Amino acid sequence: MPSSAKTDYAAPFRGSRWVGVVARSRACPDLGMWDLLHAGPPFRGAPPAPVREAAIQALLFEGLAGDRAEAENQLGSPARLLPAQNHGVATPLAQVISASMPLLVVEQGAARAYAAVIEGPPPALRFGSAETTCRVRLATLATALTADVLPLLLREPTAIDAVIRIAVAAGDDCHARTGAANEALISSLRGLGAATARVLRANPGFVLAIFMAAGMAALRTHGCAVEAIGGNGIDFGVRYRGHAGWRCVPSEAPRGTRMAGLESQMPLGAIGDSALIDFCGLGGQALAAAPLLAADWAASLPPDALSRRAALIDPRTGLVDPGRIVAAHAAPLINLAVIGSDAGAGLIGRGCYIPPLSLFQP
C-alpha cells in the first residue's frame, strides 16, 4: 500500500467549513474603496505588469475609472495596493481584490478567513488578463453564488476535510490538480441549481479559493509559527505570528512544465497566496498522492519530492513546521502556476517553487 494511502491529508482541516459568500467591503470594513488587495508581501517599488493589469481591472470593476487610461493614472494615488493576507484574505496569483468583489468565507473553530472568487479558466483575472470578459464573468458568478449557493451554505455548510479526502483519493494534490476536488465540492451543495452547477463544473479551479481560505484558517487554528506565506512576483515571503512585517527573499519562477509554444516566454517570479495550501500539507507536500502530476514534473523535482513531507510535517497538526525545515535542511515544495512577466502574457506553465531556507531560519 503506498504511503499516501496511510496519510490523512485532511487532518489540518478537521472542522473547517465553507460557510458563505460576502463582498470584501463587508468582510474588511476597515478598508476603503481605493484599497486594493494583492498576493504575498508588500511591494518594494512598482508591482509587476500582471498585477498592475489586475489592479486596472479591479478599478474598472468598481466603476472608479471610466476607462483603462484613467485607471492607470489612479494606481499609486488614490488607489493603493495592500497585502491581502494582512487583512485575513487570500488571493491567487496576480488577482487584485477591490471593495465589491465577492469573497468565499471559511470558518474553523474561532478562525474565519476569506479568499477571492476565481471566475474561470484562462483568460482570467488571476493571470493578469486585460479581457473585459473576466470582469463580466466575475460579476455573473458573484450573482449566482449569492442567489443559488449562499442559501445552501446557510442551511448546510460544506465540510472541507470531506472534500479533501475524496479529492486525494482520486489523485488530486488539491493545488495544481483540483478537478476531483471541485466535483466533490459541487456534489456537496445539495439542491444546487443545474445552471450554476454547470458554471462551477466548467471552472475546475473554483475550489482552489476554498482551500486557500481554509489554509489560512488552519494556520491560525493550530497556532502555526507562520501565519502568512506567499509571493508577489518580485518577492516571496513569510509573516510570523505576532509580527507585523514579512521576511522576504527575491522571488524565483517555479520550475516545471511549459505550455506548448510558450517555452521562451519570460516567467514571473513565484506569485500567489495559494502557498498557504502547501504549508498545510497539500500541494507540494501531497505529490505522493498525485502520481500523474509527479510524473509530469519529474525532471524538475528534487529526488526526495515524494518523501520530503515526512521530514517537514508536524504529526500533531499536519502542518509544515518551520523548526523541522531547519532541522531537515529542506524547504517545503510549493506548487504554483507560472505566468508570463509581461502584461497580457497570461498562463505559460505550471511547476514547483522551493523557497530558500533563510526564510525559516531563526
* Digit-coded pLDDT (tens) for 203-219: 999 999 999 999 999 99
Q: Is the pLDDT of residue 198 over 80?
A: yes
> How much of the chain, in percent, has pLDDT values that exceed 90?
98
CA 154: distance to chain centroid?
Answer: 24
Question: In the chain, which ranges are E strands?
Answer: 16-23, 35-38, 80-83, 89-90, 102-108, 111-116, 158-159, 226-232, 235-240, 247-250, 255-258, 271-272, 334-339, 347-353
Q: Is the pLDDT of residue 244 over 80?
A: yes
Q: Is the pLDDT of residue 3 over 90?
A: no
Which whole number is the average pLDDT over 113-128?
Answer: 98
In one-letter notation, the amino acid at residue 259 is: M
CA distances from 137 to 130, 151, 195, 264 (A): 13, 21, 14, 30
- pLDDT for position 362: 83
* Residue recorded with cell 475609472: 65
Q: Is the pLDDT of residue 356 over 80?
A: yes
- pLDDT for position 351: 97
253 within 8 A of 268, measured Cβ to Cβ: yes
N-terminal to C-terminal alpha carbon distance within the chain? 38
313 within 8 A of 284, measured Cβ to Cβ: no
- pLDDT for position 1: 32
- pLDDT for position 4: 52
Q: Is the pLDDT of residue 329 over 80?
A: yes
Which whole number is the average pLDDT over 130-148?
Answer: 98
What is the CB-side half-sphere exposure of residue 48 using CA atoms within 13 A?
30
In the structure grid, which three cell numbers stand for residue 138, read together? 466575475
Q: Dump pLDDT digits (tens) for 281-314.
A: 999 999 999 999 999 999 999 999 999 999 999 9
- pLDDT for position 6: 84
pTM beyond 0.75, yes or no: yes
- What residues contact 59, with CB distance under 8 A and at least 6 apart? 36, 65, 71, 74, 75, 79, 98
User: Which 3 state secondary structure label does DSSP give 115?
Assistant: strand
- pLDDT for position 43: 98
- pLDDT for position 344: 87
CATH architecture, range 3-359 = Alpha-Beta Complex (3.90)
Domain positions in the chain are 3-359
Q: Is the pLDDT of residue 323 over 60?
A: yes
| 4-18, 94-108, 160-174: segment of lowest average pLDDT | 4-18
In the structure grid, which three cell numbers stand for residue 180, read together? 476531483
Q: Is the pLDDT of residue 102 over 80?
A: yes
CA distance 153 to 151: 5
